[in-house]
Each structure stands twice: as structure tokens, then as C-alpha cells.
Amino acid sequence: MINSNDINKTHRILVVDDQEINRDVLGVILEDNYEMIYACDGAEALERIREYDCEISLLMLDLMMPVMDGFEVMRRMSADESMKNIPIIVLTAERSAELQALRMGAADFIAKPFDMHEVILARVGRIIELCDGRQLISAAEHDRLTGLYSRSFFYEYAQRLFAYHPELHFDAVTVNVEQFHLVNALNGREFGNKVLTTIADAVRSFLAGSEGIAARLEADRFYIFCLPCDDYAGLLDQFQKSVDAISENVNVHLRMGVKPYEEGVDPVALFDQARTACSRARGDYQLPLVVYDEKMRARELLHQRLLNDLNAAVAERQLTVYYQPKYNILCDPPRLSSAEALIRWKHPELGMISPGEFIPLLEGNGLIHVVDKFVWSEAVRQISEWKKKYNFSLPVSVNLSRSDVFDSTLVDRLARLVRDNGLEYGDLKLEVTESAYTDDANRLLEVIGKLRSLGFQIEMDDFGSGYSSLNMLSSMPIDVLKMDMKFVRNIENNETDRKLVSLILDIASYLKVPVVAEGVESEGQLEILRKAGCDLVQGYYFSRPVPAEEFESLIIKEINTKR
């Protein structure tokens, strides 16, 4: 039996009875443990429920009343989403009405007259306790904003569908809002919530009458476990039109990933693959729908293999540092000025792995720092070796990734590498991309300040490739600008690109810093850059990235030219 002293008085009970004596009796029994409110008929009861915004823990309802009887109250409450979950204990002297009331959804039945007070207290306490438990389960089961399933319950129900209905072949579908954080930032959280609830309504409409289920996971990720759809492009279009209807002035783009049913593959694995497909659609408005296929599976397996083999690649020196020269083109002939260190991976079984394959993979998995540290160590050793062998000082640029910036040992590590190899700080140049700035500008500025105070030179890599570059220039002291190669690629044939190159060079001139143009492949590009005032270039026109031993021929040629 429930101990009434243990019940929190924050629970509110509404007693509805046309007889004042009955209301008073129940008030005397319950008021020490609960907040009591009263109504004398059904119409007033509904008004009180709305007045208290449905924050009522229990309704004790007489069935036979003037104006509106208890049966009508129950009918109206069951049809109202905001009221239907309030538990009801029926009060009546008509025992024959008990069955009808229970069939209409009453939780319990208390007969008049009220004589066994302890029994009434126990029944009330038990009903409230059970209702609280159901509400807690419901709150955990559903996402509060959209009403779709939460993560844990969604996976549980999906596993049950998978296990108990093997005859049904379910597809896994994920839907995301492109750049949802910007949607919120530009339009406000209320608008963002409207987008999410609109998508949820569209998903519910799609699943209506079927065995499918859906969930909202994280901020803007929706999962749908459904029977195969013949036209997922059409489905995405339906969802997109629902979102477009919210506002004519705001563009919100959706993307979708689909993993079709595969025998023996459980829902967790299916949704991992659907999520992979959805991520491939990121930023591509021309291809917002991607279906997971064998090609994607092969790429995933390759990526996992590379992640597994990374430590062995370092230990067994499968990784090799290549060097691409940078030439000063303000003199004639151009002179070898410095170089950039670039990583290459020769896998013992897979052969040469493209940097475009493994570098983004390692960046996305937070492991790029392993490669960066290898490159730093190899670069300073090589600089030192060339200085001793040829009496030739060649500064080399190495990359600082965003994960490096958060390493508390970064400054000491780089300084120690330089000192231990007998070099000057200026011998090792540090390239920083704007992605590091956008993650945590304050941390980056702090680290860059410490490195420059020691004597390291900082290069801004891929300048102009994104919206943050000018922000970086206004706050981060730099020593060199590296112009993104996309500006160089078409300067011979595109007037706009030539003007953009001139603009970047003007900015650099104002800042009094040299510019390195990447991706120079032709004499025509070289001449345009020289006439525009560009200081340094690198690219296939002079040399592709080459191993250290092959690079030495460029050093020897430079030494002989000086003679």
C-alpha cells in the first residue's frame, strides 16, 4: 500500500461533482497530500483543465451531473491530445456504470458514499504513481520537440521489427538539414524548431498506415525504418516542399541517404551505412539523395583498413615525405627559395594511397596529428641534412592541422625539434588552414602568438578558399599568404580570376607579406603572376612533389646557378 506521507503535494487533483458535500468529503481526505481544485459540472471541469494548462495529475469525475455529465467529459477528453492522458477515477453510486466508464478509459472506480478513506487514499496514490511512471517512459520514448521516437527506443523497436518480422524487408533512411546550425543562427531557434517539426510531420504522413517507424536523433538528423519506397527522390522532394512552404524568404535544403534492405544486416549497421550515404550528399545541392551501394561499401572497407594500418605505416616507414619547391619569380631566372613537405603513403599491399584519400579520412577521425608529427620530424631532419651536406639553407613548410592546435605540447614539441637538429626557427615554416581558425579562433591565436614569439613564420594556407579568410587576416598575424590554386587554374582564360588574383596581391601588399601561388603549371600562368607582383610560386611548371633524394638535384642546380 502507498504511504500517503511519501506523496509529493505538488500533484494537483481536480474533483468534479455537482454535490458540494461530496467535493468537501474528498477534499478532507486528500488535501493534506495534494493540491485540490474543484468543479461542479462537466463544462466547468473542462474549463479548469484548460485554465491549469492540463497540468493536472488526476481527475476524480462524477458521472451523473447537470449541464455536462461525466461520460461527455470523458468523450471530449479522449478526443483532445492535450487532455487524453490525464488519468480519471470515476465517482458514482451507479455500479452498473462501472464497466462503461472503464471501457471509455477510466483508470479506476470509487463507489459512493465515500466511507473507506484509507482505500481512497491508496487508490489515488497508486493511480498517480502509475501515471507518473507512464509519463516518464513516454518522455524517454519520444523526442520532446517532434514527438518521434528517441534514439534508444527507436533502435529497440527497429531491432524488434527486424527480429520478429523477417518477412518484412525494411530500408534505412536518414534525412538531414544542410547547415542546420546556420539556419538557426540566421533565422532564430524558433524558426529552426519549425523546420524540425515540419519534417517530423512529413515523415509521419509518409509512414501513416505502414509498419515503419521514425526517430529524431541529435539536432537535425531523422531516421526512418520503412518498407521499400519505389521513389525516394520523390519522397525527398515531398519533404523539401513541406519545408519550402514555411517561408518564401528562407532557403532550407534537405539531403537524404538510403541503405536498401540487405538480408542478415541488422538496423544498426543499416543506419550506419545510410548515414554514410547521407554524408556523401553534404553540400551537393545537385545530388541531395545518395543510395548506399557496393562502391561505397568498398570505400568504407578501404578507409577502415587504412585506419587500422596507420600505426604500422609510421613504425615501418611506409610513410614518406615528398618535397615540392617554391621559386622566387621576382628575379630572373627564378631562384629556389623554399619547399613544402607533403606526405605520401606506400602501403605494402595496396600500393600508393592517394593523399586525397587518406588525409581527409585522418582529419575526420582526429588522427591527422599522427601524420603531422611524422612529417615535422622528417622535415627538420632533412633540412639539417641538406644544410650539412650542401651548406645550403632551405626553409621547409609543414602543416598544422586543427587537432594540432589543441595539443598542449605543440609549442614545446616544435621548438625542441628545431633545437635538437641544430636549426633556426625560421628554417621551419608552419602552414595553418582556415578550418583551424573556424574551430576555435581564440585558441589558434594564442598558439600562433607563442610560435611567432619564438621566431617561427606562419603561412596562411589556401587563402581565399572560404568565408573565414578575411576574418583570419584581420585578427591573426601572419608572415606569408598562400593563394588557393583555384585562382591560378584559369587565369590565362578568365578575366574574373585575373582580377581576383590582383585583389589578393593588393591585400598582401597592404599587409606587407609575400604571396605564394600554388598550382602553377604553365609559362603563361607564371608570366601573369610575375607581372601582377606575385613573389613565389610552386607547381608542376617547376616540379611535382618528389622524394628527398630526387629533390637534391634541384638544390645542386641552384648551387651551380649561383656560381
Pairing of strands 536-537, 335-347: unpaired
CB distance 401 to 362 below 8 Å: no
What CATH code is carried by the domain that includes residue 375?
Answer: 3.20.20.450
User: Following CA atoms 281, 286, 292, 295 in sequence, which dihedral angle do they give, to the nearest 10 degrees?
Assistant: -100
Comparing CA positions, the residue from 372, 368, 415 lying closest to residue 397 is 372
Whether a cis peptide bond, with omega within 30° of 0, leads into 113 is: yes
Grid cell listed for 332: 630572373
pLDDT at 266: 87
Residue 188 and residue 40 share a domain: no
Per the model's pLDDT, the better-predicted residue between 254 and 301 turns out to be 254
Residue 128 and residue 219 share a domain: no
Grid cell listed for 215: 526517430
CA–CA separation, 465 and 463 (whole Å): 6
Which of the listed residues 140, 160, 179 is the one where a domain comes to its end?
A: 140
pLDDT at 563: 63
Q: Confirm whether 370 is domain-assigned.
A: yes
Q: What pairs with residue 257 in β-bridges?
A: 174, 290
Q: Confirm whether 302 is domain-assigned.
A: no
pLDDT at residue 54 greater than cutoff 70 = no
Q: Confirm whether 146 is domain-assigned.
A: no
Q: Reduced to 3 states, what is the DSSP secondary structure of residue 91?
A: strand
Q: Confirm whether 429 is domain-assigned.
A: yes
Residue 552 and residue 410 share a domain: yes
* Residue that has been written with the C-alpha cell 523546420 in this structure: 195
Residue 516 and residue 556 share a domain: yes
What is the tally of structural domains in the chain?
Answer: 3
Lowest mean pLDDT among 56-70, 431-445, 452-466: 431-445
pLDDT at 374: 96
CB distance 307 to 345 below 8 Å: no
Per the model's pLDDT, the better-predicted residue between 218 and 400 turns out to be 400
pLDDT at 235: 95
Average pLDDT over residues 362-371: 89
pLDDT digits (tens, 9 = 90+) for 207-263: 988 889 999 987 899 999 999 998 999 999 999 999 999 998 888 999 999 999 988
pLDDT at 316: 94
Per the model's pLDDT, the better-predicted residue between 438 and 91 turns out to be 91
Residue 112 and residue 164 share a domain: no
Residue 130 backbone dihedrals phi, psi, to 5 degrees: -65, -40
pLDDT digits (tens, 9 = 90+) for 158-168: 988 888 888 88
pLDDT at residue 172 greater than cutoff 90 = yes
Grid cell listed for 391: 651548406
pLDDT at 3: 44
Query: Best-predicted range by mean pLDDT among 191-200, 358-367, 431-440, 470-479?
Result: 191-200
Show the domain range for 214.
151-292
In 68-188, which ranges are E strands?
Answer: 88-92, 108-111, 171-177
Q: Confirm whether 308 is domain-assigned.
A: no
Lowest mean pLDDT among 48-62, 88-102, 231-245, 409-423: 88-102
Residue 92 backbone dihedrals phi, psi, to 5 degrees: -165, 155
pLDDT at residue 440 greater than cutoff 70 = no
pLDDT at residue 527 greater than cutoff 60 = yes
Which of the listed residues 112, 140, 168 is the one where a domain comes to its end?
A: 140
CB distance 63 to 90 below 8 Å: yes
Average pLDDT over residues 193-206: 94
* Residue that has been written with the C-alpha cell 598582401 in this structure: 508
In 319-424, which ranges are E strands?
Answer: 319-328, 335-347, 351-353, 396-400
The rounded mean pLDDT for the chain is 87
pLDDT at residue 5 greater than cutoff 50 = no
Q: Confirm whether 303 is domain-assigned.
A: no
pLDDT at residue 341 greater than cutoff 90 = yes
Lowest mean pLDDT among 45-49, 322-326, 362-366: 362-366
Lowest mean pLDDT among 374-383, 447-456, 475-484: 475-484
CA–CA separation, 414 and 423 (whole Å): 11
Q: Which amino acid is at 316?
A: E
Buried b or exposed e, range 197-227, using 16+ CB within 10 angstroms: bbbbebbeebbeeeebbbbbbeebbbbbbbe
What CATH code is carried by the domain that includes residue 31?
Answer: 3.40.50.2300
The whole-model pTM stands at 0.61
pLDDT at 138: 56
Residue 519 and residue 401 share a domain: yes
First to last CA, the chain: 103
Edge to edge, the sheet with strand 171-177 lists 213-217, 221-226, 171-177, 254-259, 289-291
Residue 115 and residue 170 share a domain: no
Average pLDDT over residues 88-109: 81
Q: Confirm whether 300 is domain-assigned.
A: no
CB distance 301 to 308 below 8 Å: no
CB atoms within 10 A of CB 384: 16
CB atoms within 10 A of CB 63: 24
pLDDT at 373: 96
pLDDT at 319: 95
pLDDT at 526: 95
Residue 46 and residue 68 share a domain: yes
CB distance 35 to 13 below 8 Å: yes
Q: Which amino acid is at 251?
A: N
pLDDT at 82: 76
Residue 335 and residue 279 share a domain: no
Average pLDDT over residues 106-135: 81
Q: What pairs with residue 222 in β-bridges?
A: 175, 216
pLDDT at residue 502 greater than cutoff 70 = yes
pLDDT at residue 474 greater than cutoff 50 = yes
pLDDT at residue 282 greater than cutoff 90 = no
* Residue that has been written with the C-alpha cell 542478415 in this structure: 264
pLDDT at residue 2 greater than cutoff 60 = no
What CATH code is carried by the domain that includes residue 254?
Answer: 3.30.70.270
Edge to edge, the sheet with strand 35-39 lists 35-39, 12-16, 58-62, 88-92, 108-111
Residue 379 and residue 487 share a domain: yes
pLDDT at residue 99 greater than cutoff 80 = no
Average pLDDT over residues 398-406: 89
pLDDT at 265: 87
Q: Confirm whether 305 is domain-assigned.
A: no
Residue 531 and residue 396 share a domain: yes
Residue 361 and residue 288 share a domain: no
pLDDT at 437: 63
CB distance 61 to 30 below 8 Å: no
Q: How many residues does the chain have?
A: 563
With cut-offs at 50, 70 and 90, classify the pLDDT of residue 136.
Answer: low
pLDDT at 135: 64
pLDDT at residue 199 greater than cutoff 60 = yes
Pairing of strands 171-177, 221-226: antiparallel
- Provide CB contacts within 8 A for 296, sequence distance 6+: 273, 276, 277, 280
Which of the listed residues 292, 327, 359 is the one where a domain comes to its end?
A: 292
Q: 74: number of CA atoms within 13 Å, CB side?
A: 21
Comparing CA positions, the residue from 296, 287, 292, 176 lying closest to residue 239 is 176
Per the model's pLDDT, the better-predicted residue between 421 and 126 turns out to be 421
Dihedral sign, Cα of residue 196, residue 200, residue 203, residue 205: negative
